């Protein structure tokens, strides 16, 4: 059921088996598995998932390779709703551990927002990350191309960049070190842009020179192109560099602030989990991009299945096997 400001009152006294923070690929997959295990679940999502920015999902088994992320999300939401899962558009501000349950504090509504508190035995953190983009004065110019042929993920889209003139938009020296030479697996025609935001040491400059990769340290004025296809960049000095594709590597924002009181084990901003996606807290699971691992839709969906199954196993063991009472009564009568 879709919860709104008008009908969430009654749900605030219910104790869910699990609350899932985030309704992207991972969270929806977890919700579908939880409901199919006959558990009660609530997905709380603030919207604009990373998968929403994915214009074409090229590498997911069984889907046409031009499937937009928003279609995947819409289908996932419909599937979850068909299983009677509860869904709320809201922003999770804080989670408090009450011992047997978690209290999840949510801000609902952008204007005239209200605070609501929901409770669950388990929590699944599926709130993902979001990529930092080149900080141009006109960010709409970046959105025009980001997710189309201006990519953010080499694993997702390296194949699309094969042997194309590629701009590498770096957020740090480390990003150049870690990514550029791997990117050359797909294309050797790489130009690196620092946007004038950081200095590059001499050893790295020489390594780039030795590979034939130009380094451009002048700030970028704007991306050029049309119909969402980026064809180059104009620099602040007016010079134009022609490109056929691009990869942004400027780091990410981790959506984990609501968990800060939990003191969970982290690696960078990612949550550390075991093979069933359980974090260092026994009743908190983390899935998808937020946990340590590969940031891919197929992994997020698989993680959702693992976390939901881990939760089901524990609840099932606590409750024990159900009795077929009629047969037991019959046996008693026969005795």
Using CB under 6 A, list all residues that contact ligand FAD: 21-27, 44-51, 53-54, 57-59, 91-92, 126-128, 131, 147, 152-153, 156, 255, 258, 288-290, 295-298, 300
Per residue, the 3-state secondary structure of 227-247, as one string, reads CCEEEEEEECCCCEEECCEEE
**HSE, side-chain direction, 13 A CA sphere, residue 160:** 23
Least CB distance from residue 199 to ligand FAD, whole Å? 28
CB of 197 to ligand FAD, least distance (A): 21
Nearer to ligand FAD, 46 or 207 (CB): 46
Q: How far is the CB of 214 from ligand FAD (least distance, A)?
A: 25
Question: What whole-number distance in Å separates Cα of residue 124 and Cα of residue 280?
Answer: 13
In angstroms, give the least distance from the CB of 23 to ligand FAD.
5
Q: How far is the CB of 304 from ligand FAD (least distance, A)?
A: 8
Token duo for residue 161? 């960049």
Q: Which is nearer to ligand FAD, 101 or 252 (CB)?
A: 252
Nearer to ligand FAD, 235 or 295 (CB): 295
Between CA 145 and CA 213 the distance in angstroms is 23
Retrieve residue 121's tokens.
């035995």
Indicate the residue among 176 and 287 with the shorter CB distance to ligand FAD: 287
Taking the least distance from each CB to ligand FAD, the nearer of 92 and 235 is: 92
Nearer to ligand FAD, 66 or 178 (CB): 66
d(CA 333, CA 154): 69
Query: Which C-beta is closer to ligand FAD: that of 27 or that of 167?
Result: 27
In the numeric block, the tokens 């990529």 are attached to: 131
- 150 vs 176 by CB, closer to ligand FAD: 150
Q: Compute CA distances 151 → 105, 145, 249, 275, whole Å.
A: 35, 8, 9, 30
Residue 160 dihedral angles phi and psi, to the nearest 5°:
-70, -20
* Strands (E) located in 126-206: 129-131, 150-151, 166-170, 190-193
Shortest distance in whole angstroms from residue 26 CB to ligand FAD: 3
Smallest separation (angstroms) from ligand FAD to the CB of 64: 12
Tokens of 266: 């982290």
Q: Tokens in use for 166?
A: 């590629």
User: 10 Å Cβ neighbour count for 82?
Assistant: 10
Judged on CB neighbours under 10 Å (0-12, 13-18, 19+), 238 is exposed
Least distance to ligand FAD, CB of residue 42, Å: 11
């Amino acid at each position: 059921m879709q919860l709104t400001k008008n009908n969430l009152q009654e749900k605030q006294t219910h104790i869910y088996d699990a609350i899932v923070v985030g309704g992207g690929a991972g969270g929806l997959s977890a919700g579908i598995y939880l409901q199919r295990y006959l558990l009660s679940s609530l997905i709380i999502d603030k919207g604009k998932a990373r998968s929403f920015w994915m214009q074409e999902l090229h590498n997911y088994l069984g889907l046409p390779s031009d499937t937009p992320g928003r279609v995947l999300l819409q289908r996932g939401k419909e599937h979850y709703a068909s299983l009677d899962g509860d869904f709320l558009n809201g922003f999770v501000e804080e989670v408090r551990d009450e011992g047997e349950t978690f209290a999840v504090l949510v801000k609902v509504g952008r204007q005239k927002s209200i605070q609501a508190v929901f409770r669950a035995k388990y929590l699944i953190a599926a709130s993902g990350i979001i990529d930092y983009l080149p900080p141009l004065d006109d960010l709409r110019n970046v959105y025009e191309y980001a997710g189309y042929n201006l990519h953010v993920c080499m694993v997702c889209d390296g194949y699309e960049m094969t042997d194309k003139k590629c701009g590498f938009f770096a957020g740090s020296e480390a990003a150049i070190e870690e990514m550029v030479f791997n990117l050359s697996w797909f294309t050797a025609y790489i130009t690196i842009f620092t946007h004038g935001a950081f200095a590059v040491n001499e050893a790295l400059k020489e390594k780039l020179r030795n590979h034939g990769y130009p380094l451009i340290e002048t700030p970028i004025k704007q991306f050029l192109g049309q119909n969402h296809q980026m064809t180059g960049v104009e620099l602040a000095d007016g010079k134009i560099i022609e490109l056929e594709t691009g990869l942004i590597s400027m780091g990410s924002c981790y959506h984990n602030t609501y968990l800060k009181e939990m003191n969970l084990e982290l690696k960078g901003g990612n949550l550390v989990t075991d093979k069933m996606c359980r974090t260092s807290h026994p009743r908190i699971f983390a899935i998808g991009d937020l946990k340590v691992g590969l940031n891919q839709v197929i992994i997020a969906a698989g993680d959702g299945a693992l976390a939901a199954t881990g939760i089901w196993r524990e609840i099932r063991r606590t409750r024990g096997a159900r009795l077929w009472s009629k047969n037991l009564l019959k046996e008693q009568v026969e005795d």
